Amino acid sequence: MKLVNHLVLRLSTTFIVVLFVWSVAYFFLQMNEIYDGIDEGLNNLKQEFIIKANTTEGFVADMVKYNPLNIIVEEISAEDARAFQETYSATTVYFPSELEKEEVRMLTTAFRCESDKKYYRLKIFTSTVESDDLVKNILYMLAGLWIVLALALVFLAKKIIFKSSKPFRKLLAALTDFQMDKSKMISFEPTSIDEYRELNKVVEKFLQENMQAFVNQKNFIENMSHELQTPLAIALNKMELMLNDKTLNRRQLEEINTTLQILNRMKKLNSGLLLLAKIKNKQFEDNELNLNTVFDETVNNFEHLIEYRKIKLQTVNNAQITVRMNVDLAYVMASNLLKNAISYNVQGGEISIVFNPGSITIANDGEPPENSNRQIFDRYFSAADDNRSFGLGLSIVKSIADRYRFDISYRYDSKHIITLIIL
Amino acid sequence: MKILVIEDEPEMVKTIESFLSNEKFIVEKATNYDSGIEKVFLYEYDCILLDISLPGGSGLKILEKMKKAGVAGNVIIISAKDSIEDKITGLDFGADDYLTKPFHLAELHARIKAVMRRKQLDGKEILHFGNLSLDFKNRLVFVDEEELKLTRKEFDMLSFFAANTNRLITKEALAEHVWGDNTDAADNLDFVYSQMKNLRKKLKDSGADIVIENVYGIGYKLDK
């Protein structure tokens, strides 16, 4: 979920609940107020009626006789009158004039008329039709306010949060695109928000330190491999000299040979590392070249080995692929790919090299991979129990591909398939 | 045959010296830029092995000065820097070959021989041994005047042995010579074995009087 939506959802949920509770409370309070007003009016009417009844002789009798629309007077016993509780109630009354029942607010009370010394029960009521309209209006207004506020809140919150998190999003986008080995610092969006400024500062510092560490590491690998060359050369050559010492017996010669083989492996590993470091660090002169030709010549170079392993190799030139790249790196890439396809092939297997517009696909037979396929381009990865290679070959291919922004991928689909997409 | 080694690493110099002395070369040494310049201009050598990073200056600078002064010398650059630019500059300044450290001594020897062979006055580049003649220029082999058909790799191997007679060549050194520097030797050892079998069979069938023998499975040796 996006941060904006998350925040808006959290905020608006809280606000909408508060707003709702408030609206409901307000509504009922207002309703009470309205009924209070009506009840007070009824009470006034009652007071007036009783005063009139007390002072005007025959008033009550007239009232009973004429039976006005909003007053009902009935005589009751003194006991009943004394026990009577004055009540306000919402009820319905049948109005003959309207031919229907209407909702009314009714005050029911009892009083003793001073003029005729009798006890009466008095019901005074008033129609609540108008106040119902009022209540409805209040309800509509409240609902309207509630909806408008909620919408405005969601919309505004979304807009404000979105706008004010712009530096954050910019930073995120820049970090996504950031490449450590390009040694190009990302650009930061100026912002007036302290936290974002702080974040930008911290990220910048962090990146700078890491870029420095990365450069140091690159240089370290390159310098280290370079410095190792001479001692390795001396050790190798001394062993080679000893190998031709006529006084040594077979066992000693075999020991020397083993040492030589190990030194040779070190040498290969070291020069592989050096090449990797160089591909990543150094400038190379690039030229237009045809990759079909490069692969053809590489295949030629390996032809005896391919023959020896009884491998059937076919090249399909559906397209001519011309790129701008360094010629030596192109050959290193082609020969490492081909070597890989030969080394991990089965005796009598097949290799196909297919050139399509914008892509080269190399497929070869071989044992299915054991597990994850992704890591075959990782440094030092080589299949288990395998002393055929040092796992640097495909890393070198990957580095060269990265350098020229070729997209390289691997999959296994009854064959090992490496695809190189060249834009 | 006089060879000058301009190289600052004492043990490296010692190793090369003892190797080349065995091959009946007269070896002189210079361990820094100044003594290198001095020796190059004072004496004449059949071959100069030149390191690039030297105390006091670059080996490339020595090469440049030699070229300007018109001093002849078959120069092979030996450098730990496997740098394409250096290689190009070096060859531009008149170096005959460029060998990256670490190298196999047999490879160094083959390169020295090749350089010296190319500079021979007749320019024919034909090497005779036993009843074999190797024509390096046209990459042909003759046994008693009869041509022996060899594949490219077989020719490379035979010529490598021809340059390193009586020397035990390991399979690794052989594979590297034939397949180049960036080949995983381990890939190809079996292959080298099969190629050697073919080569030895061809030599035997053609009646060549040289034998390349397998030494304890370590490598091969051509006895003269």
Question: CATH no. for residue A333?
Answer: 3.30.565.10
Mutate to test the interface with A, among B27, B78, B182 (most CBs of A within 10 A): B182
Please tell me if residue A234 touches chain B, with a CB cutoff of 8 Å. yes
pLDDT at B82 over 80: no
Q: Who wins on pLDDT, B73 or A358? A: A358
Please state the φ and ψ torsions of residue A309, each to the nearest 5 degrees: -85, 5
pLDDT more than 70, % of chain B = 94
CATH number at residue B106: 3.40.50.2300
> Which pLDDT value is given to residue A413?
86
- Return residues 111-170 of A near B (CB < 8 Å): none
Whether residues A131 and A14 share a domain: the answer is yes
**Residue A65: which CATH number?**
3.30.450
CATH number at residue B167: 1.10.10.10
Residue B194: is its pLDDT beyond 50? yes
Among B86, B118, B150, residue at a domain's last position: B118
Domain boundary among A143, A159, A175: A159
CA of B118: how far to CAs of B97, B121, B124, in Å? 12, 8, 8
Neighbours of A422 (CB within 10 A): 19
Task: Cite the DSSP H helix spans in A186-311.
Answer: 194-243, 250-281, 291-301, 303-308
Q: Do A253 and B15 touch (CB under 8 A)?
A: no
Asked which of A109, A144, A159 is the last residue of a domain, the reply is A159
Beta carbons of A388 and B188 less than 8 Å apart: no
For chain A, the domain total comes to 3
Count of domains for chain B: 2
Co-location of A251 and A313 in the same domain:
no
Which of B204 and A71 is assigned the larger pLDDT? B204
Instruction: Tell me the mean pLDDT in the region B80-106.
Output: 84
> What is the predicted pLDDT for the residue at A359?
93
Based on the domain organization, do A265 and A309 belong to the same domain?
no
The two beta strands, B2-6 and B47-50, are parallel
Are B88 and B142 part of one and the same domain?
Answer: no
Helix (H, G, I), strand (E, B) or coil at A299: helix
Residue A299 lies in a domain: yes
Q: Are residues B82 and B185 in the same domain?
A: no
B-chain CB neighbours of A240 within 8 Å are: 19, 104-106, 170, 173
- pLDDT of amino acid B122: 61
Q: Is the distance from CB of A151 to CB of A10 less than 8 angstroms? A: no
Domain boundary among A159, A181, A207: A159
CB contact, 8 Å: A308 with chain B?
yes
A169, part of any domain: no
pLDDT digits (tens, 9 = 90+) for B126-163: 888 888 888 888 889 999 888 999 988 889 999 999 88
The nearest CA of chain A is from the CA of B43 a distance in Å of: 27
Q: How far is B60 from chain A (nearest CA, A)?
A: 18
Range of the domain at B151: 126-223
**Hey, of A259, A305, A309, A326, which one would you mutate to test binding to chain B, going by the most B CBs within 10 A of its CB?**
A305
Same domain, B109 and B159: no
Task: Supply the range of the domain harboring residue A275.
Answer: 229-281
What pLDDT was estimated at residue B30? 94
Q: Are B194 and A308 within 8 A, CB to CB?
A: yes
A171 in any annotated domain: no
Are both A149 and A7 inside the same structural domain? yes
Overall pTM surpassing 0.90 (yes/no): no
What residues of chain A score a pLDDT lower than 70? 181-183, 371-375, 378-391
Secondary structure of A307-327 in HEC code, one letter for each residue: HHCCCEEEEEECCCCEEEECH
pLDDT at B61 over 80: yes
| Per-residue model confidence (pLDDT) at position A384 | 44
